[in-house]
Amino acid sequence: MTETSAPAPAPTAQPELDRARRLVTEIPGPRSIALMARKTAAVASGVGTTMPVFAAHAGGGLVEDVDGNVLIDLGSGIAVTTVGSSAPRVVAAVQEQAAAFTHTCFMVTPYEGYVAVAEQLNRLTPGDHDKRSVLFNSGAEAVENAVKIARHHTGRQAVVVFDHAYHGRTNLTMAMTAKSMPYKHGFGPFAAEVYRAPLSYPYRDGDLDGADAAARAIDVIEKQVGAANLAAVVIEPIQGEGGFIVPAEGFLAGLVDWCRANGVVFVADEVQSGFARTGAMFACDHEDVVPDLIVTAKGIAGGLPLSAVTGRAEMMDAVHAGGLGGTYGGNPLACAAALAVIETIEADGLVARAGAIEDLVVARLGTIAARDSRIGEIRGRGAMLAVELVVADTDAPDPALAREIAARCHAEGVIVLTCGTYGNVLRFLPPLSITDAQLHEAFDVVEAALAGIAR
Ligand code: PLZ
């Protein structure tokens, strides 16, 4: 290795947020290549990167790399920067909080920001019942705590999750996550008492409607677990890493009804789908599903690490004093950011903006799909959209095609992500601060990438 350090780029102002894509070097450019060499030498190789470039600035719908290339962002750092990566209210709130204090530990000397975030979560999440919230750092940590709360409340141990589910990388959430490679491979043994039920997956389910898919799942649960042993059913109302699968209408409601009738806690994992992402504040809202507990993270705090469990007061308060917590949970900087995110979503009408993004992107994808049968399905809601790619005129998953389209988009300065159990889903998660012009430019690139790959 010859170059060990790229010269630090001079600090410059944020790029204009309505700028177009701009490529001034090959992707990656020389500074990114030098930084990647340092990464390889210094960072554990288990941590991969989607893009070969290093970020210098980000905001609006753009990421500017260390070589001065301006990329269009259709990833939002995996559905995190819903309000943008440098939303003015978030930046100001974090700066102000940092100057006041960065940490006291809420369990030692509490502060108002944590309480205010809990109040906002109790107000915004589905249902008008009495609620309580508790804050953590990561999505996985919050999912684990939802399970702890459900077990404590019910006095039962079993947890049911679904095919294609993703709930995190900690030991319990690895057990809850479906896909072995890369998330679980070689990392066992996994936590006990986790059972998997079949999901509603309309594209691959034939004619199974939501109610029948729920009945199929409930049958598996009753036969293989037994309601009397079951603490919680945990489900992503729209699956994230598993392939942006939207269950057939009535599937979630059928599960909720069964849980209510059997004293089972219904937990919605809205880590990826929450906070305006799907054109509603929460994905559950699209079908008026009211979960007992809802897990949020990602979009909640504009990129600062924050997650939460919000739920029925009698369940949340079942846990003994001191039973929930953690050193950093509800860190004051993250809470200040979350309050600014919520203000931004409401003041800037971002729920409606996600709906408008859906209209624009689905129209663009529809045009492409009409003349290319390698797009098996267009699905998702709001600004959480995807295409499932298949071998032309079949429904056989084509992960190589997804990889190749993504690579071409990356080379052209458009950040896109793949997902899905079969790795054949291309997903689009733009920040809601992206402009229509940037979206059109990005989908011009996506369209050209697919057209350029021979069938
Ligand atoms: N639940 C529904 O989408 C995180 C994972 C990326 P953490 N998804 C992105 C990766 O490869 O690690 C996620 C999710 C749902 C839980 C999680 C976990 O959230 O904040 O990554 O722990």
CATH code where residue 157 lies: 3.40.640.10
Q: Which two structure tokens, joined as six digits, stand for 126?
A: 């589905």
Considering the domain architecture, whether residues 283 and 370 belong to the same structural domain is answered as: no
Where is the domain boundary, 295, 327, 347? 347
Considering the domain architecture, whether residues 318 and 408 belong to the same structural domain is answered as: no
Query: What's the CA-to-centroid distance between 139 and ligand 1, angstroms?
Result: 6
- Position 344 scores a pLDDT of 98
Locate the ligand 1 atom nearest the alpha carbon of residue 168 and give its number: 18
How many domains are contained in the chain? 2
- Position 15 scores a pLDDT of 60
Q: Let me know if residue 6 belongs to a domain.
A: no
Pair 278, 110: CB distance under 8 Å:
no
- Sorted by sequence, the CB contacts under 8 Å of residue 316 that are 6+ apart come out as 131, 132, 133, 134, 149, 293, 309, 310
Question: Looking up tokens 């690139």, which residue turns up?
Answer: 445
Where is the domain boundary, 314, 347, 380? 347
Locate the ligand 1 atom nearest the alpha carbon of residue 170 and give its number: 22
Considering the domain architecture, whether residues 267 and 238 belong to the same structural domain is answered as: yes
Q: Let me know if residue 194 belongs to a domain.
A: yes
Locate the ligand 1 atom nearest the alpha carbon of residue 298 and give its number: 20
Considering the domain architecture, whether residues 307 and 377 belong to the same structural domain is answered as: no
Q: Let me know if residue 49 belongs to a domain.
A: yes
- Side-chain half-sphere exposure of 444, counting CA atoms within 13 A: 11
Considering the domain architecture, whether residues 250 and 107 belong to the same structural domain is answered as: yes
- Position 59 scores a pLDDT of 95
From CA 112, how far away is CA 121, in angstroms rounded?
14
Considering the domain architecture, whether residues 99 and 146 belong to the same structural domain is answered as: yes
- Which protein residue has the closest C-alpha to ligand 1 atom 1? 167
- Position 207 scores a pLDDT of 84
Q: Let me know if residue 61 belongs to a domain.
A: yes
Task: Tell me which residues have their CB closer than 6 angstroms to ligand 1.
Answer: 78, 138-140, 143, 166-169, 236, 240-241, 269, 271-272, 297
| The model's pTM | 0.96
Considering the domain architecture, whether residues 201 and 272 belong to the same structural domain is answered as: yes
Query: What's the CA-to-centroid distance between 423 and ligand 1, angstroms?
Result: 16
Q: What kind and span of H or E run contains 403?
A: helix 399-411
- Got the DSSP string for 130-149? -EEEEEESSHHHHHHHHHHH
Q: Let me know if residue 20 belongs to a domain.
A: no
Pair 423, 402: CB distance under 8 Å:
yes
Where is the domain boundary, 298, 316, 347? 347
Closest CA to 134 of 153, 157, 109, 106: 106
Residue range(s) defining the domain that contains residue 63: 30-87+349-451
Q: What kind and span of H or E run contains 265?
A: strand 265-269
Considering the domain architecture, whether residues 382 and 245 belong to the same structural domain is answered as: no
Pair 395, 239: CB distance under 8 Å:
no
Sheet holding 70-73, edge to edge: 55-59, 62-65, 70-73, 414-415
Query: What's the CA-to-centroid distance between 285 and ligand 1, angstroms?
Result: 21
Pair 22, 69: CB distance under 8 Å:
yes
- Sorted by sequence, the CB contacts under 8 Å of residue 201 that are 6+ apart come out as 163, 164, 245, 247
Q: Let me know if residue 160 belongs to a domain.
A: yes
- Sorted by sequence, the CB contacts under 8 Å of residue 379 that are 6+ apart come out as 202, 203, 244, 245, 246, 385, 386, 387, 388
Q: In 33-102, which ranges are E strands? A: 55-59, 62-65, 70-73
Query: What's the CA-to-centroid distance between 299 and ligand 1, angstroms?
Result: 12
The phi, psi pair for 408, rounded to 5°, reads -65, -40
Q: Let me know if residue 379 belongs to a domain.
A: yes
Q: Which two structure tokens, joined as six digits, stand for 167?
A: 């709930």
Considering the domain architecture, whether residues 191 and 161 belong to the same structural domain is answered as: yes
CATH code where residue 404 lies: 3.90.1150.10
Locate the ligand 1 atom nearest the alpha carbon of residue 273 and give its number: 2
Query: What's the CA-to-centroid distance between 76 and ligand 1, angstroms?
Result: 13
Query: What's the CA-to-centroid distance between 140 and ligand 1, angstroms?
Result: 7
- Sorted by sequence, the CB contacts under 8 Å of residue 356 that are 6+ apart come out as none
pLDDT digit string (tens) for the chain, length 455 residues: 344 455 544 444 566 777 889 999 999 999 999 999 999 999 999 999 999 999 999 999 999 999 999 999 999 999 999 999 999 999 999 999 999 999 999 999 999 999 999 999 999 999 999 999 999 999 999 999 999 999 999 999 999 999 999 999 999 999 999 999 999 999 999 999 999 999 999 999 988 999 999 999 999 999 999 999 999 999 999 999 999 999 999 999 999 999 999 999 999 999 999 999 999 999 999 999 999 999 999 999 999 999 999 999 999 999 999 999 999 999 999 999 999 999 999 999 999 999 999 999 999 999 999 999 999 999 999 999 999 999 999 999 999 999 999 999 999 999 999 999 999 999 999 999 999 999 999 999 999 999 999 98
Considering the domain architecture, whether residues 73 and 186 belong to the same structural domain is answered as: no
From CA 196, how far away is CA 233, in angstroms rounded?
10
- Position 13 scores a pLDDT of 55
Q: Which two structure tokens, joined as six digits, stand for 124?
A: 């915004």
Locate the ligand 1 atom nearest the alpha carbon of residue 78 and give its number: 9
- Position 11 scores a pLDDT of 43
Considering the domain architecture, whether residues 360 and 409 belong to the same structural domain is answered as: yes
